[in-house]
Chains A and B, each alone.
Chain A
Amino acid sequence: MLIQELPTIFSRFFLFIWSGSLFFVLLTYWLQIRYSILKSKESKFRKKWGPLFASYSLGIFSDIPKLSHSNFDLFVRFWNHYQQSFRGDASLNLNQLIDKLQIQKKILKNLHSWSLKRKLDSIIALGHLQEINAQMTLQTLSQSKNPVISLSAFHSLIQINPSQALPAFLTALPQHPEWPEVIVGSILKRLGAKLISPALLNAVRMVAEPHKAALIRYLGLCSPEIVAPVIYQMLRDSNHPQTLEYSLKNLVFPLEQDVLDRLVKHPEYLVRKEAFSAIGRTGGSQDETKLIDGMADPKWDVRYQSAVSLVQLLDTSREKLHKILDSLTSNTAIKTFKHVLSEKQLI
Chain B
Amino acid sequence: MNMQIALEIISGFYIAYFIAINLFYLFLNYSSMFYSAKKIQFNDFYDLPHFFEGFDLGISILVPAYNEAKTIVNSINSILNLEYPVYEVIVINDGSTDETLSLLIEKFEFFPFLAANPQILPTKTIQTTYVSKKYSNLKLIHKENGGKSDSLNAGLSMAQHTLFCSIDADSILSRESLKKTIQPFWENPKTIAVGGMICVADGCQIENSFIKKVDLPKQFLPLIQVVEYWRAFIFGRAGWTPFNTVPLISGAFSLFKKQFVMEVGGYSTQTVGEDMELVMRIHRHMRRHRIPYQIVFIPSSICWTDSPKTWKALGRQRIRWQRGLLESLWMNKDLLFDWRGGILSWFTMPCIILFDAIEPLIQVLGHLSVLIGFFLGYFSFSTYLGFVAIIFSVGVFLSFNALFIEEFSIHSYGRFSQFFKLFLAGILENFGFRQLNTLWRFIGFFGWVLGTRIKWGRLDLN
Contacts and interface: CB of A to CB of B under 8 A. Distances in A.
For the residues of A in contact with B, the DSSP-based class is helix
Contacts of B125: none
Contacts of B8: 2-3
A343 B383 contact: no
B389 A304 contact: no
Interface in B393-446: 393-394, 396-397, 400-401, 403-404, 407-408, 411, 414, 416, 419, 423
Contacts of B54: 182, 185-186, 189
Contacts of B118: 300, 303
Interface string B156-200: 010010000000000000000000000100111100000000000
Interface stretch (B38-46, B218-226, B311-319): B38-46
B42 A148 contact: yes
Interface residues of B, number: 56
B116 A20 contact: no
A44 B393 CA distance: 42
A101 interface: no
Contact of A27 (B113, B120, B188, B404): B404
A124 B49 CA distance: 13
Contacts of A18: 393, 396-397
Interface in A293-347: 300-301, 303-304, 332, 335-336, 338-339, 341-343, 345, 347
A28 B407 contact: yes
B114 A147 contact: no
Contact of A7 (B48, B383, B397, B401): B383
A21 B186 contact: no
Contacts of B56: 182
Contacts of B411: 32, 35
A301 B55 CA distance: 20
A80 interface: yes
A286 interface: no
Interface string A158-200: 0000000000000000000110111111100110000000000
Interface string A276-300: 0000000000000000000000001
Contacts of A13: 390
B383 A6 contact: yes
Nearest to B11: A3
A139 B173 CA distance: 41
Q: Which of A190, A335, A343 has the most CB of B within 10 A?
A: A343
Given A17-B393, A117-B44, A182-B52, A336 B403 contact: no
Contact of B382 (A7, A84, A341): A7
B45 A148 contact: yes
B115 A339 contact: yes
B387 interface: yes
A68 interface: no
A184 B54 CA distance: 10
Interface string A8-43: 001101100110110011011101100110000000
B270 interface: no
Contacts of A32: 407, 411, 414, 416, 419
B157 A300 contact: yes
B131 interface: yes
A25 B51 contact: no
Contacts of A11: 386
Given A28-B400, A35-B411, A17 B390 contact: yes
Contacts, number: 152
Contacts of A178: 187-189
A141 B48 CA distance: 20
Nearest to A27: B404
Interface in B13-48: 15, 41-42, 44-45, 48
A108 B28 CA distance: 39
A85 interface: yes
A25 B421 CA distance: 12
A343 to B, nearest CB: 5
A3 B383 contact: yes
Contacts of B12: 2
A84 B386 contact: no
B460 to A, nearest CB: 35
B243 interface: no
Given A20-B397, A28-B404, A182 B386 contact: no
B11 to A, nearest CB: 7
A188 B189 CA distance: 19
A262 interface: no
Nearest to A307: B116
B337 interface: no
Contacts of A25: 400, 423
Contact of B386 (A7, A120, A189): A7
Contact of A17 (B115, B188, B397, B407): B397
B407 A338 contact: no
Nearest to B48: A84
A70 B407 CA distance: 23
A84 B50 contact: yes
Interface in A55-104: 77, 80-81, 84-85
B44 A77 contact: yes
B263 interface: no
Given A29-B419, A84-B48, A338 B116 contact: yes
A120 B48 CA distance: 12
A259 interface: no
A130 to B, nearest CB: 18
A274 interface: no
A222 B379 CA distance: 80
Nearest to A115: B41
A160 to B, nearest CB: 18
9 contacts: A6-B386, A24-B403, A28-B404, A84-B51, A181-B55, A183-B51, A189-B53, A217-B55, A345-B111
Interface of B: 8, 11-12, 15, 41-42, 44-45, 48-56, 111, 113-116, 118, 120, 131, 157, 160, 183, 186-189, 378-380, 382-383, 386-387, 389-390, 393-394, 396-397, 400-401, 403-404, 407-408, 411, 414, 416, 419, 423
Given A32-B414, A80-B48, 16 more contacts: A7-B380, A17-B390, A17-B397, A18-B393, A28-B403, A28-B404, A29-B419, A84-B48, A84-B51, A117-B44, A180-B186, A181-B55, A304-B116, A336-B116, A342-B113, A347-B114
- Which 7 pairs from chain A and chain B are nearest by CB? A180-B186, A10-B386, A342-B113, A339-B116, A300-B118, A185-B55, A335-B116
